[in-house]
Structure 1
């Protein structure tokens, strides 16, 4: 492989740019943390370090926003949505990329169109559909639309992985007498672990933070998602920037932790197949 060596100046320039991007990304969170530690009811101005720091604001926000109930509700929806969405997306992508099912090109075109349609544009059709089926105010009314809405991205993501698997592996498995299902279990699924784990994390985060569908389909605020905590909290403390900042940080904390824990899987999935021997 012919390539130019990166000079020390280019390495330092890259590090400086990355550092600036990290600082730019973290700045809003630092501002929210600064505001959350101010005295409750005050009006924070700029980035300041309060003395003393009012950590009790997080306790107040945690209780008032009823986060334990909302986190439990979000966790139940994640359990309902993510496994089903992974199975359907994986099977559909396997059929399109490996089995080459008839009409695959048309299906891919429809999936690409689906990527361009925002969730908000489908809310009312989904609402009337769930009402017709008698599912309103139940968790399936939230879970089923989410599974369907995740399919365009999920199928295209997994198809890209399956299409990158060398065809020689499929031929070798076929020579050993493996059928379509055996080939999926023994060859493709073990190789798809980085892609599947990344997709599972993305689906989990999207479900955890889903707001608009949960708001429309469910009347009981405590059976919605954790993102609904801010809506319920704003009704009582809408003018209290301090407590609103504390509640927002608490809502974001689980997603930040999940991303930090699974960042290696993200990198592995994005780099998988980028270098082939």
Structure 2
């Protein structure tokens, strides 16, 4: 159906308003981060003499070099393992239709209703009993478990829509279940796998609560977890706080901009199949 000129104009106006509403907080933070140290930023006021050195000060004060390394280690421990387990579970629940799969999937759906805040206390005591407090494993292991309900749901939604004729043709050629998974279905699931990896990366990088509760050493936290200690120490210095926040946000923005095609492709694929 062809859109009328009025509908096209209305859509363009809404798109421009959405872009402005999205960019406004970032522009406000950038203008505040470029103000002279010790001042109180007031709205969208671009400084006459931008203090770009504030970003260097924020990086050094918050020890973000060590935090960047720590965040990368945590992401490397969480994302690949979570994606692998979720892909295998999604294949079993969505395509193989294993016995008891409906019950297992119902339990995973139940897990989607549990917020992190509701399980932080028992998670703390479990991690303490395991002797993992103040280590990066205190974040990696709980995150893998907490991400599983959504990750399995995401991958099952892909595999449940794969035509069974593909597997039947592979079975005729003597393909085992393991070969069917790795050689046939995993390549077909690349859009879903890549988009899931992007989401888990963003959530892990921005993980705040577990990093604050389970790790005392700021150098072992995530970048976002360090922002809590940074804000507690420099809460009155809004300029430095805004500069540090932008530094922490930059990697997630870059990852999303680089891999946005794969993410959108997975969403559209699900919309067409659904």
Length-normalised TM-score, structure 2: 0.96
Q: Distance in 1 between matches of 2:164 and 2:4?
A: 39
Q: Distance in 2 between matches of 1:176 and 1:12?
A: 55
Q: Distance in 1 between matches of 2:18 and 2:31?
A: 20
**Cα deviations by residue, 1:190-216 (Å, 9 ceiling, x for unpaired):** 111111111111111111111111222
Q: Distance in 2 between matches of 1:52 and 1:264?
A: 38
Give the 3-state SS of the residue equivalent to 2:223 in structure 1. coil
Q: Distance in 2 between matches of 1:221 and 1:29?
A: 26
Residue of structure 1 equivalent to 2:60: 63
Q: In the alignment, is residue 173 of structure 1 matched against residue 170 of structure 2?
A: yes
Q: Distance in 2 between matches of 1:19 and 1:165?
A: 37
Counting matched residue pairs gives 273
Q: Distance in 1 between matches of 2:78 and 2:44?
A: 39
Q: Give the superposition deviation at 1:217.
A: 1.6
Q: In the alignment, is residue 75 of structure 1 matched against residue 68 of structure 2?
A: no
RMSD over aligned CA atoms reads: 1.2
Q: In the alignment, is residue 14 of structure 1 matched against residue 45 of structure 2?
A: no
Give the 3-state SS of the residue equivalent to 1:272 in structure 2. helix
Give the 3-state SS of the residue equivalent to 1:214 in structure 2. helix
Equivalent residues of 1:115, 1:153 under 8 A apart: yes
Q: Bigger CA drift: 130-139 or 142-151?
A: 130-139
Please point out which of 85, 95, 98 is paired with 1:98.
Answer: 95
Equivalent residues of 2:212, 2:228 under 8 A apart: no
Residue of structure 1 equivalent to 2:136: 139
**Cα deviations by residue, 1:223-253 (Å, 9 ceiling, x for unpaired):** 0111122222223321011111111111111
Q: In the alignment, is residue 246 of structure 1 matched against residue 236 of structure 2?
A: no
Q: Give the superposition deviation at 1:56.
A: 0.9
Equivalent residues of 2:71, 2:205 under 8 A apart: yes
How is 1:253-268 mapped onto 2 (pairs within 5 angstroms)?
253-268=250-265
Query: Which runs of 5 or more structure 2 residues have no equivalent in the other structure?
Result: none
How is 1:121-270 mapped onto 2 (pairs within 5 angstroms)?
121-270=118-267
Equivalent residues of 1:66, 1:229 under 8 A apart: no
Q: Distance in 2 between matches of 1:9 and 1:96?
A: 47
Q: Give the superposition deviation at 1:273.
A: 4.6
Q: Distance in 1 between matches of 2:248 and 2:135?
A: 23
Change (3 A) 1:31 1:273: closer
**Cα deviations by residue, 1:62-89 (Å, 9 ceiling, x for unpaired):** 1101111111100000111111101110
**Cα deviations by residue, 1:141-199 (Å, 9 ceiling, x for unpaired):** 21110000000010000000111111111111111111211111121101111111111
Length-normalised TM-score, structure 1: 0.95
Q: Distance in 2 between matches of 1:173 and 1:228?
A: 47
